[in-house]
Structure 1
């Protein structure tokens, strides 16, 4: 169980160190931190230097200035924006400041400012940025009033900066908070996002934020909830938006950043067999392969292309078309060029594993393109990365299980000794995956009989 203390308790100890033990402020803070950490107390929710911070820099002072300027009878937009930016700067420093601000009522204050400034973008945009900073890593603050405001502000007639600010606020509210995702989705945010997506004047920067919200709505990262609705959200979004998103690949083909976000979003939405076909019918597969040809050295684009190809391989017909369309040499070549990047290595091994699963003919094409040597080199390049090694073991297994003759090529390149060495270094994490690969290569696998004895004398051998 995590032990925490209040800001007041921490501040009292620091003040005591200064007043009673004649310590400097820095010494008092350092001593207080060491005391509490020795007791196993988590100080992530505490502002370490609040006692010695000048009044003009404190969260409370910034918040009071925002309230005072906004409620003044002679409002000055410039002054209000400046105080909001000061508060945002403080909130961006750490989580402890955000927690303190929330206790002081920052959320309700900012909601009121946003509501009263709906027609004044000069104040609205910085207010949205500030509330986003407040809720970064702290989405529990969102309430029904906040959700209603988000939906209302996602109006197609608003400026790009305003829409982007709202979308970024929505995204932060969705991260690690299942109930927020469900409540925002129930508020029909999908309709608003579709309207933005269908606008001809939607800019690339705006599209990236729309994609970010789509991906946030299909997350399953809240450990407080055993079951989420990520699949249902992905299905609903895909039915309405998959084809338009795919068609936008062509429109923004010269913008690598936007293309990367679109491919990443498509991969997160392809959760059913028919959705793979939708992307293919909209020209998605051809575009992905063209991206790998046109941007051979772009690590991010190739990684996202590999992830999307893996997702499309969930459809057996599309899996075959990836291979017949010349995808295999492109995949092998991309991994060979960029295998020093762990992200490329992991995505590439996962892609090969998906394309060769229960498909010996696809595996045969990978053999013809030199995949065994590339896989061995990738494992050698990342011997300590369990994610890369696990996916490489899956690829070896899928390529070998129905291709016994061709699998000897792995042995020629010394994969047996390599896998045995890796297994010793990652015994508890990767043992089962590596043993499965060794087994399907026709090699001896060290098995251990964990349960021995008869009847009442059964015992477990650790």
Structure 2
């Protein structure tokens, strides 16, 4: 069941059960028919049934739901050191139910039955010394918080302060940091108010402290929280404050600390998350330049080389995307070229010659490097960017975004370099661009611009 619209009507579990009961007693339906009729009727009326246990009432089925049973037992336990092992087991059971079969509705059932409030309350009372149960509770909470309704419940339950306090007290534990920051990431997703609350609680200082303390740790939850806090993803607000948050992150040294984490060596999933986090911080030229001065480009180019050798497409794509962002700063363009970045990108494209997502990112880097830079455009052609464009447009003609990226790169290769036009036209690039223009709606403008800057008169045809 998909997420409900913000105008969807709701119904209580009791009202749903009563409707099924009426179908049985008043209309003479058998239990299965009564249940199906109730679901169909309410769905047609636009009622949100997420979180409703859809079973025949009166047989103890609702209370026997495993999610509800776990929550009720947790509420009975409160927090008692003697019952911490049982509590950890219950949280682990809930986490399995929430992350198990997609579409089961278990998370919605947990939220509707007070799961967010209950787990927040329990987390507030678990001492840092009871690390096992605390980590299990935080991991469960991160799974429970999955939409705007649950993030609002988390906020009204004083969740932000609770998590920040845990992160302060448990900063020496990698597991507490990972699970705690996973809650931050879940709670701040698509909720501008929660982002603001975390910033008021100085979450940026905690992030910096954790990065410095765990410089060689794979704190994936922390990297994800940076990305979410700096993403303007709440469509309920006209103007997000995340650009200012990114500058604040950079000002206190988070960009530099992220580079240090990258250079210290991370496992593949954390490397990807850290690279995406660093890209989120890099919102202006000053920050992009500081990342380079901290050794960021050296690290990224090394990862690009390594990803090619290891065949790691996700790392290759992510690092190229970050490099493209940093290349937007003119001084960084020179640094990338001087460090033989263009040759490394061509080598990477050869290793992933049949992988459109990687090739798209490689072409995006070349497009940015050559923007307003005829010297870079000449060096790109020498490195093999022109050959790459021809090969991609010929062999992967059905991939729309890749064809569009090819056209954009070609334009920047030739717009200020007449000699590049001659080379590309002599190798038949015109027919490939025209084919992309005809076959792909998203390519029309980019293809037209490429044909024009190649010096062709009939570029509009």
TM bucket (normalised to shorter chain) is 0.7 to 0.9
- Cα distance change on mapping 1:385 and 1:36 into 2, 3 Å: farther
Q: How far did 1:158 drift?
A: 4.3
Change (3 A) 1:251 1:183: same
Following the alignment from structure 1 to structure 2, what is the Cα–Cα distance between the partners of residues 172 and 132?
A: 6
Report what 2:261 is aligned to. Answer: 248
Aligned equivalents of 2:47 and 2:375: distance in 1? 55
Give the C-alpha shift of residue 202 in structure 1.
4.8
Change (3 A) 1:247 1:82: closer
Q: 1:280 to 1:36 in 2, by over 3 A?
A: same
Aligned with 1:406: secondary structure?
A: helix
**Alpha-carbon shift at residue 81 of structure 1 (Å):** 2.3
Displacement after TM superposition at 1:87 (Å):
3.3
Cα 1:261/1:91, change in 2 over 3 Å: closer
The answer as to whether partners of 2:400 and 2:443 remain within 8 angstroms in 1 is yes
How do 1:337-348 and structure 2 match up within 5 A?
337-348=351-362
Question: Which of 5, 11, 14 is the equivalent residue of 1:6?
Answer: 11
- Cα deviation per residue 1:97-148 (whole Å; 9 max; x = unaligned)? 4344333322222121111113332332222122212102342222262111
Residue matched to 1:62: 70
- The residue aligned with 2:91 is 84
Distance 1:105 1:54 in 2: 15
User: Structure 1 residues 56, 84: CA separation in 2 closer, same or farther (over 3 Å shift)?
Assistant: farther
Q: Distance in 2 between matches of 1:191 and 1:247?
A: 17
- Which of the numbers 291, 306, 323 marks the counterpart of 1:309? 323
Following the alignment from structure 2 to structure 1, what is the Cα–Cα distance between the partners of residues 320 and 79?
Answer: 53
**2-side partners of 1:3 and 1:258: how far apart?**
38
- Matched with 1:142 is 154
| Match runs of 1:277-426 below 5 Å | 277-296=289-308, 297-426=311-440
Aligned to 1:176: 190
Shift, 1:305, TM fit = 2.2
Contact 1:193 1:210 in 2 (8 A): yes
1:79-104: per-residue Cα shift (whole Å, max 9, x none)?
22233333333444558443443333
Greater alpha carbon shift after TM alignment, 47-56 vs 175-184: 47-56
Counterparts of 2:271 and 2:92, CA distance in 1:
32
User: How far apart are 1:301 and its partner, in Å?
Assistant: 2.2
RMSD (CA atoms): 3.1
Aligned to 1:273: 285
1:264–1:308: 8 Å Cα contact kept in structure 2? yes
2:73 and 2:406 mapped to 1: Cα distance? 57
Q: Is the 8 A contact 2:117 2:153 kept in 1?
A: no
Are 1:261 and 2:273 counterparts? yes
Structure 1: 5+ residue runs without aligned partners?
A: 448-462
CA-CA distance at 1:17 after TM superposition: 7.1
Q: Is the 8 A contact 1:3 1:40 kept in 2?
A: no
Over 3 Å counting, the alpha-carbon distance change for 1:247 and 1:46 in structure 2 is closer
Q: SS of 1:142's equivalent?
A: helix
Which of the residues 78, 101, 114 maps onto 1:105?
Answer: 114
Does 2:138 match 1:128?
yes
Q: Which 10-residue stretch deviates more, 80-89 or 430-439?
A: 80-89
Confirm or deny: 8 A CA contact 2:410 2:450 kept in the other structure: yes
- 2:50: which partner in 1? 45
Q: Secondary structure at the match of 1:102?
A: helix
Report if aligned partners of 1:77, 1:123 keep a CA contact under 8 Å in 2.
yes
* Matching of residue 210 in structure 1 with residue 210 in structure 2: no
- Equivalent position to 1:228, from 215, 224, 240: 240
Q: Distance in 2 between matches of 1:116 and 1:54?
A: 29
TM-score relative to the length of structure 1: 0.84
CA contact (8 A) 1:45 1:95 kept: no
Q: 1:163 aligns with which of 154, 159, 177?
A: 177
Gaps of 5+ in 2: none
Whole-angstrom CA distance in 2 between matches of 1:10 and 1:425: 51
Query: 1-side partners of 2:391 and 2:338: how far apart?
Result: 26
Aligned length: 440
| 2:447 equivalent among 434, 450, 454 | 434
Which residue is 1:454 aligned to? none
CA–CA distance in structure 2, aligned partners of residues 11 and 409 of structure 1: 74
